[in-house]
Structure 1
Amino acid sequence: MIDAHQHFWRISRGDYSWMDDSVAQIRRDILPTDLAPLTEAAGVTGTVLVQAAPTVEETLFMLSLAEDSTLVRGVVGWIDLEGDVQAQLDRIAHPALRGIRPMLQDIEETDWILREDVVAGLRKVAAAGLRLDALIVPRHFGVIDALAHRVPELPIVVDHCAKPVFDGDDPGLAWRDGMAALAAHPQVFCKLSGLANEYGPGWSAAALRPVFDHVLACFGPDRIMWGSDWPVLELAGDYAGWAACAQEMAAGLPEAARKAIFGGTAARFYDI
């Protein structure tokens, strides 16, 4: 079982600008020793560590953690896609590096990722054998669709099911259509993660099933991977509860499909 999306941080490093009072509950040092008992209890044997700060320095910090942790099987870092991409890739070259993630949800310009220099940088990312984690919200559906057309050699995974906005338990037609359009690209995958935080109080397998059923219908189990989004998850729930919720939603699937969602897809996508 692989957790395809989790974070670590050391606050004194000083580049987590998003950590204001609204996330005081998780504004503390969080390192591999904090996660280990949770993954062990859940049966998770490996994780993908994902960036939480828009700096190369944080990427180097994560890679150093991966060197000392048997749990971390891959790292998704950050580079400035408008800068000297090759020089940055050379700086962070490491056996554990699996991809990069620009923090698109925090960039005001929705189509920023389609700028010529950014697309050129992403082509270099793909040429380096790396992947793109797409931290997007529904306003980005069109641009990621366009990016997938323009750089088909770049594997993309949509984080947190593109953060659907729930109206009651329904994520809405625009979200459904947007996810279906992205799923039409065979190189685009989806992370079953972050949904507890997006739904808010009262989340459950029943409440989140419309999202699960739709991404399953669009992507199939071989392009869906489960992730905890821990410790951000702690703002809405706990590790064991989210793992159990996801397994409940997938309980009726064949064993091969469950194995894909909870490990096989992540292993293949990130070459773990």
Structure 2
Amino acid sequence: MIIDAHQHFWQLDRGDYGWLTPELEPLYRDFMPDDLAPHLDRHGIDGTILVQAAPTPAETEFLLEIAQRTPFVLGVVGWTDFSAASAPDDIARLAKHPKLVGLRPMIQDIADDDWMLRPDLAPAFDAMTRHGLTFDALVLPRHLSRMRQLLSRHPNLRTVIDHAAKPEIATGQFDKWANDMSALAKESRAFCKLSGLLTEAGNDWTTADVAPYVAHVLESFGPERLVWGSDWPVLTLAASYGQWIEIAQSLISCDVSRAKIFGPNAVDLYQIPKT
């Protein structure tokens, strides 16, 4: 079983994608299941995890509706307001939906780098743990030290670092990111997503540019805590679906490791029922 553990859908006329502007011309249109299905068929992908792209409850409901009628969507990572007094109840309600597998605050867009450490968010993180949901951490390299603190407070919070924390590959920033990722992997049980790297590598990327970053997360998290995702359609700013899956597979030389990273690990991370 091969799973794409990170993809998006959106419909522009819904109006809540603040980041999605006409300047992002290749992405400024609707992307729906019929657009992705040919790529999944061509590359033998059995299922996907559909991830939120707007910080609104309405978008989460929109994605859950898509998941209900789209067999290849195995789970949805939605959004809710972790800072709301009602957050524990909101999380409990969402957790009842059979396709809701996780939640994702859009931390990269929050001005306060210490936001995740606010005491008033603890009830939301506790509710995530209580209801068995996965916390998708959309963070940047500067957030990694905070992530270590957060996970020390909530050691049982099932967590995945989206896009390997978006290392600054285009400018060759490696050492600080690498050290922080190693420490996070050692000190916590967090997973890491092998996704989003090509869009961080600049317009003239080569496989050699991303290879050290792939090698480092593989070494740090091991083949048991790494999951592959496409980040489609954002991926299309840098490469095709086929290019990314081919590069990722080529950079993981061990067949056993590759088999885990491209499927079973996502089942474990998101607690997808095994059929």
Instruction: Please give the TM-score of this superposition, normalised by the length of structure 1.
Output: 0.96
Find the aligned partners of 1:39 and 1:167 in 2 and give their Cα distance: 29
Q: Show the counterpart of 2:150.
A: 147
Q: Which is further off, 240-249 or 196-205?
A: 196-205
| Runs of 5+ unmatched residues, structure 2 | none
How far did 1:29 drift?
1.0
| Selected match of 2:124 from 121, 125, 129 | 121
Q: What amino acid sits opposite 2:48 in the alignment? A: T
Q: Show the counterpart of 1:246.
A: 248
Q: Show the counterpart of 1:98.
A: 101
Instruction: Please give the TM-score of this superposition, normalised by the length of structure 2.
Output: 0.95
Find the aligned partners of 1:42 and 1:112 in 2 and give their Cα distance: 39
| Runs of 5+ unmatched residues, structure 1 | none
Q: Show the counterpart of 1:256.
A: 256
Query: Which 4+ stretches in 1 moved above 3 angstroms?
Result: none
Matched residue SS, 2:54: coil
Per-residue CA distance 1:84-105 (angstroms, 9 max, x = gap): 1133224433101111000000
| Selected match of 1:195 from 168, 193, 197 | 197
Per-residue CA distance 1:189-224 (angstroms, 9 max, x = gap): 100000010002232322211001111110001100
Matched residue SS, 1:22: coil
- Is this contact kept in 2: 1:2–1:263, CA < 8 A? yes
Residue pairs, 1:1-272, within 5 angstroms: 1-83=2-84, 84-92=86-94, 93-166=96-169, 170-250=172-252, 252-253=253-254, 255-272=255-272
Matched residue SS, 2:263: helix
- Is this contact kept in 2: 1:82–1:117, CA < 8 A? yes
Find the aligned partners of 2:196 and 2:214 in 1 and give their Cα distance: 12
Q: Which is further off, 117-126 or 40-49?
A: 117-126
Find the aligned partners of 1:208 and 1:85 in 2 and give their Cα distance: 38
Per-residue CA distance 1:93-124 (angstroms, 9 max, x = gap): 31011110000000010010110111221111
How far did 1:237 drift?
1.1
How far did 1:267 drift?
1.1
Q: Over aligned residues, Cα RMSD in angstroms?
A: 1.2
